[in-house]
Structure 1
């Protein structure tokens, strides 16, 4: 096996091996965290967004419908989101962050932002720019690699 690939596996593994204190939101599994991430992505693109359509969320996640529904149920049970049915179109269900969900998302976003700011200071401007470029290229290559089977 290529030594570089083993080094890449070890390097990426360091992120998944982080202690519990570095988990994004304590008590949420990967799917639940993914839904929070999708919501933050949508808000970043459209800051006035309050209601999230299931299809819109799933465009970021690619969950099966049952998995997305189950994940939303868990987040609802934990008090982070609520379902909303509009009076003028009862066929469509939307998801909205509760006040607790908004506060949790903001606190975690702020925490991650500060941490990334600190990392950028440690790396310096040039290396941070290189890292951004490499991560974007890595994400693109990762997507393309699935097509090469």
Structure 2
């Protein structure tokens, strides 16, 4: 049994390594040249805008950081990089001077449309090769796996951490 558990553990570690953002980015290099964190920021802004429609005035740095699960300093760095490329900008509204909102620039809007078209094309090809049902199963299993890991970590966080 120990051998099978060891083999399964190694196979799981290898599979998780293949899913690391830097590995996926290296596979897609030349097709989609934007890292996963920036993709997540763009998707978060786009989804928030779609949900709020005409009421949308951007997302606060805090809301973006929370949605993406990154610290505020990390969020500032990401926003700075995308702002330098004229894809997003910071806005402060007179009615709410305490918050800085992140919005797409006109160039950013155009790039998001191009990016969305490219992603849709990629998903279409993947669906043809793998099948939509398998893609949905993979997404569902990733969520279940993440939740199981979270529960495991919560249950065992009182125990001392293992380090090498």
State the TM-score, normalized to the length of structure 1. 0.77
Say which structure, 1 or 2, has more relative contact order (CA 8 Å, 6+ apart): 1
1:21 paired with 2:30, answer: yes
1:4 paired with 2:8, answer: yes
Does the C-alpha gap of structure 1 residues 144 and 108 become closer, same or farther in structure 2, counting only changes over 3 Å? farther
1:131 paired with 2:131, answer: no
Structure 1 residues 1-149: aligned runs within 5 Å? 2-15=6-19, 16=23, 17-25=26-34, 29=35, 31-48=37-54, 49-148=56-155, 149=157
Does the C-alpha gap of structure 1 residues 142 and 22 become closer, same or farther in structure 2, counting only changes over 3 Å? farther
Deviation at 1:69, TM superposition (A): 2.0
Structure 2 unaligned regions, length at least 5: 158-164
Structure 1 unaligned regions, length at least 5: none
Looking at CA atoms only, which structure, 1 or 2, has the larger radius of gyration? 2
State the TM-score, normalized to the length of structure 2. 0.71
**Cα RMSD for the two superposed structures:** 2.6
